[in-house]
Amino acid sequence: MDSRLARFSESISFDHRLYKQDIRGSIAHARMLCRQRLLEAAEFEAIQRELLDIEGVLDRGEMPFKIEMEDIHMHIEQTLIDRLGDVGRKLHTARSRNDQVSTDIRLWVRENLDRVDSLLLGLQKAFLSRCSKDAGVIVPAYTHMQRAQPVLAAHYWLAYMEKLERDRGRLADCRKRVNVSPLGGAAVAGTSLPIDRHYSAELLGFEGVAANSIDISSDRDFAVESVFVLTMISEHLSGWAEEWILWSTTEFGFIKLPHTFCTGSSIMPQKVNPDTLELTRGKSARVIGNLQTLLVLIKGLPLAYNRDLQEDKPPLFDSFDTVIACLELAIPIVEQTELLPEAISAKLDQGYLDATALMEGLISRGMPQRTAHHKVGALVAIAKSRQVPLLKLTDAEIKSVDESLDGSIRETLGVAGAIQSYSSYGSSNPTRVAEQIKTWSDRLG
Ligand code: ARG
């Protein structure tokens, strides 16, 4: 082989990460071969013993990698052959690297999906613990980044819980399709040898056995789908990071981020920069890009295995690494950030956040919605011109927009009044929110 091709085509530099899965897959395959009398018991024992020893060598980083040997699968098998001679040469019976690679990636993805899921759970628990810590705190909710309506801070945190729960649901669903055994699909057509694919699948904890050997050798749907799930998580983290960056600015002053997760400026001593959040926002770009890479990679590939598929691993690994790193940092940030209720409430009376509650108060007195909207708009205009909150309007001013109105409309005014006035399912009403917190506590355990 031309040395340029060796350099061009190697994958050992990245697929060495699959060594544990490769060894596990090989032992299961060998055990199946033995049960099917394609290997002697003593041969299987020797293969298993040496593979476990090779795993130790790899654990200690003592295996020299050679690009001429292309990938981790060849490195492990060749080491086995060096040790066992012809017995080692039997391991690859009724197997090809095509189903072997797919098996290894699926095992790796399955394990890492579980890791992501436990981190998502950790992040949900962090948001849930905030709900009791921030009980009773009211914050402005925004639409179009304009102050819209007052809500409980806990209701805000629960919004993230929902997003994370959908992420976990997608992950669990995707895991079902990941957890199907390709092993024994061989190169493309299956094999004439009497293998038992169900047995090796069972040994590896797969829930099913992929049914079509041609499909097996070409399928990377599970990789694309996993990265999509990770992309959605990244999108959620990125939006959260952006929000907390804003909330931590002097302009907002809603939260104080833990200093251990921020950096200072070398030249401006007063600065505390939200680097972790900025990088979380920034790193979502890599994950989104990786999804694109995988989609384009498989586009137009004819059946079945094509060497293009070797290129799936860098974007796949990078997506998991990135999302795992972001989640590992998001958890302590959510736990340790301080909400600053005094600073928030000082600003809460600005922006007429109770206008919608007032409008709904008028509607419940029988006024048509469009009319009520118009009347409250007029009241806001008066209040704005005097630079006072709605609560400070005089009886005469209230009457001036509509003869039928009087001072009693003040009941729903003020942010606390507005919060109490919500009642619908899913709203920021304190009782509703308390119910949701209870449901989440029960669910998360
Ligand atoms: N390094 C390759 C990969 O990761 C191994 C599969 C090679 N299969 C083959 N038939 N050449 O995809």
Task: Please give the distance, rounded to the nearest whole angstrom, from the Cα atom of residue 96 to the centre of ligand 1.
Answer: 9
Question: Could you report the per-residue pLDDT of 307-352, keeping only the tens digit for each?
Answer: 999 999 999 999 999 999 999 999 999 999 999 999 999 888 888 9
169 and 69 in a single domain? The answer is no
- With contact defined as beta carbons under 8 Å apart, do 413 and 358 qualify? yes
Predicted local confidence at residue 265, as pLDDT = 84
DSSP for 205-227, written as a single string: T-SEE-S-HHHHHH--HHHHHHH
Residue that finishes a domain, picked among 323, 345, 367: 345
User: Rounded to a whole number, what is the distance in angstroms from the first to the last CA of the chain?
Assistant: 58
Is the shortest distance between the CB of 234 and ligand 1 below 6 Å? no
Nearest residue (by CA) to ligand 1, atom 12, is: 310
**Among 13, 118, 132, 265, which one carries the catalytic annotation?**
265
75 and 139 in a single domain? The answer is no
290 and 371 in a single domain? The answer is no
Question: Could you report the per-residue pLDDT of 385-406, keeping only the tens digit for each?
Answer: 999 999 999 999 999 999 999 9
Residue 350 lies in a domain: no
Predicted confidence band of residue 210 (pLDDT cuts 50, 70, 90):
very high
How many CB atoms are located within 10 Å of the residue 295 CB?
13
Residue 24 lies in a domain: yes
What average pLDDT does range 124-144 have in this prediction?
96
Question: Could you report the per-residue pLDDT of 258-267, keeping only the tens digit for each?
Answer: 999 999 888 8
Residue that finishes a domain, picked among 93, 122, 149: 93
Taking the C-alpha atoms of residue 95 and residue 72, their distance in angstroms, rounded to an integer, is: 16
Between β-strands 272-273 and 255-256, what pairing exists: parallel, antiparallel or unpaired?
unpaired
Domain membership of residue 84 as a residue range: 3-93
Q: Which residue has the tokens 């060796």?
A: 6
235 and 254 in a single domain? The answer is yes
Q: Closest ligand 1 atom, CA of 15?
A: 4
User: Nearest Cα to 102, choosing from 73, 68, 129, 127?
Assistant: 73
**What pTM, to 2 d.p., does this model score?**
0.96
Domain count, the chain: 3
DSSP for 336-377, written as a single string: HPEE-HHHHHHHHTTT-TTHHHHHHHHHHTT--HHHHHHHHH
Locate 161 and state its tokens: 């819980």
Indicate the top mutation candidate among 66, 310, 316, 317 to test ligand 1's pocket, ranked by most ligand atoms within 8 A of CB.
Answer: 310
Q: Closest ligand 1 atom, CA of 307?
A: 12
Indicate the top mutation candidate among 9, 307, 308, 311 to test ligand 1's pocket, ranked by most ligand atoms within 8 A of CB.
Answer: 307
Nearest residue (by CA) to ligand 1, atom 3, is: 310
85 and 105 in a single domain? The answer is no
Is the shortest distance between the CB of 297 and ligand 1 below 6 Å? no
Taking the C-alpha atoms of residue 369 and residue 374, their distance in angstroms, rounded to an integer, is: 9
For 136, phi and psi rounded to 5 degrees?
85, -10
85 and 116 in a single domain? The answer is no
144 is catalytic: yes
Indicate the top mutation candidate among 14, 65, 98, 301 to test ligand 1's pocket, ranked by most ligand atoms within 8 A of CB.
Answer: 98
Locate 299 and state its tokens: 């586009």
Residue that finishes a domain, picked among 290, 316, 345: 345
Q: What CA–CA distances, in Å, run from 260 to 59, 102, 188, 329, 336?
A: 32, 41, 53, 11, 10
Predicted confidence band of residue 271 (pLDDT cuts 50, 70, 90):
confident
Question: Could you report the per-residue pLDDT of 154-173, keeping only the tens digit for each?
Answer: 999 999 999 999 999 999 99
Q: What is the mean pLDDT of the chain?
A: 96
DSSP for 12-53, written as a single string: HHHHGGGHHHHHHHHHHHHHHHHHTTSS-HHHHHHHHHHHHH
248 is catalytic: no
Nearest residue (by CA) to ligand 1, atom 2, is: 310
